[in-house]
Amino acid sequence: MAQGELQIHKTPDGTLQVALSGEWKLANSLPSPDLVRNEIEASPRISRVSFETGNLTGWDSGLLSFLVKVVGQCSGCDVPMDREGLPSGVNRLLDLATAVPERKGARRGTERAPFLARIGESAVSFWHSVLEMLTFIGETCVAFVRLFTGKSRFRGSDLMLVIQECSAEALPIVSLISLLVGLILAFVGAIQLKLFGAQIFVADLVGIGMTRAMGAIMTGIIMSGRTGASFAATIGTMQVNEEIDALQTTGVSPIDFLVLPRMIALCIIMPLLTVYADFMGIMGGLIVGVFGLDLNIVEYYNETKKAVSLTNFWIGIFSGFVYGILIAISGCMRGMQCGRSASAVGDATTSAVVTGIVSIVVATAIITVICNILGI
């Protein structure tokens, strides 16, 4: 098919005749409207522009956008434009496009704010988000007080549903990840310990490493990606659907109804999952010990039992509990703060996972330092 082509003739009476031929469609590469302007600017004698479209075989918005630019150029150069030669459909669309003048002030400014202003704005918005987080935590605490005084309402079936979603359904991935983490710890440790012929201490390394920190951290990160994200997406979608508004106007506090069951579920489930992850991690270490380091199963078991004290174990469980609270807070909070659009739900989910993981790592650091100071 012939591409869109442009031929420009000048007639002696000062008319610039623009002949359009071929297929003027967006998919083809079209001539630039600047050709017409150059002609107009080159010869000041031109008194009008006219069009000839006898050989035009087809057109779409490509032709239209070309013509809109030509119209702009002609009126810029004060040359009248004769649109009679154009197809009537094109003429009507051109009228439509130029019918409503651009609204003043509607166009968004493109200039960027100065550097310092942008720093200031980010700082202010960071401060606002800190305040929002504190408000949310405060509201949740108040909701817990209401719960203990028997004034708060949520449905027991909701709690059971959340517990099911974040416990049994999370087991496979928690098993896999913690088994592999145990394996990795054992391999990395074994390389060094073998140098001293002290392979048996792999059991100590894996046992203490898993129970004291890694079991809880890995569970926390998995749950943050899995459950925290799902909390944010669920609550965010409810926000988009006005379901949260409907709760509020019915007199049900969304915190009581949505946040409490999720938080309670995670507080119960995270310590349990942590214990499970500890166990799976030790199993991973055992596999490496038995098959890679030629250790005896009973030997490995006894060494683990000797090394892992109950204190290590409790620290892990306590960390798991704290991570549960953090995941629930970040997931629910981002969901409640969600805007009213589909992309806002995506942002809320992303931000819930990021907040969850960052706060888990920070909490781990704080717990470790405190344990160090207490000497446990």
Binding-site ranges for other proteins (CB under 8 A): 153, 158, 161, 237-238, 241-243, 245-252
Give least dist CB 115 to other proteins, A: 24
Q: Is 188 helix (H, G, I), strand (E, B) or coil?
A: helix
- The minimum distance between CB 151 and other proteins, in angstroms, equals 11
Residue 103 or 112: which CB sits closer to other proteins? 103
Q: Which is nearer to other proteins, 204 or 256 (CB)?
A: 256
Nearer to other proteins, 253 or 351 (CB): 253
* Residue tagged 């798991």 (tokens): 320
Which CB, 349 or 359, lies closer to other proteins?
349
CB closer to other proteins out of 11 and 241: 241
Give the shortest CB-246-to-other proteins separation in angstroms.
4
Q: Quick one: 242 or 299, whose CB is closer to other proteins?
A: 242
**Which tokens belong to 38?**
């150059």
Q: How far is the CB of 259 from other proteins (least distance, A)?
A: 14
3-class secondary-structure state, position 21: strand
Q: What is the C-alpha to C-alpha distance for residues 373 and 376, in angstroms, rounded to an integer?
A: 8
Distance CA 212, CA 376 (A): 11
To other proteins, the closest distance from the beta carbon of 142 in angstroms equals 12
Q: Are 331 and 228 in contact (CB under 8 A)?
A: yes
Tell me how far, at minimum, the Cβ of 125 lies from other proteins, in Å.
Answer: 13
How does strand 15-24 pair with strand 5-10?
A: antiparallel
Taking residue 209's Cβ as centre, other Cβ atoms within 10 Å add up to 22
Q: 220, 177 in Cβ contact below 8 A?
A: no
Render 257-302 in DSSP notation, one character per residue: IIIHHHHHHHHHHHHHHHHHHHHHHHHHHHHHHHHHS---HHHHHH
H/E stretch holding 138 reads: helix 115-148
SS (H, E, C) 232-259: HHHHHHHHHCCHHHHHHHHCCCHHHHHH
At closest approach, how far in Å is the CB of 158 from other proteins?
A: 7
- Give the nearer residue to other proteins in terms of CB position, either 68 or 252: 252
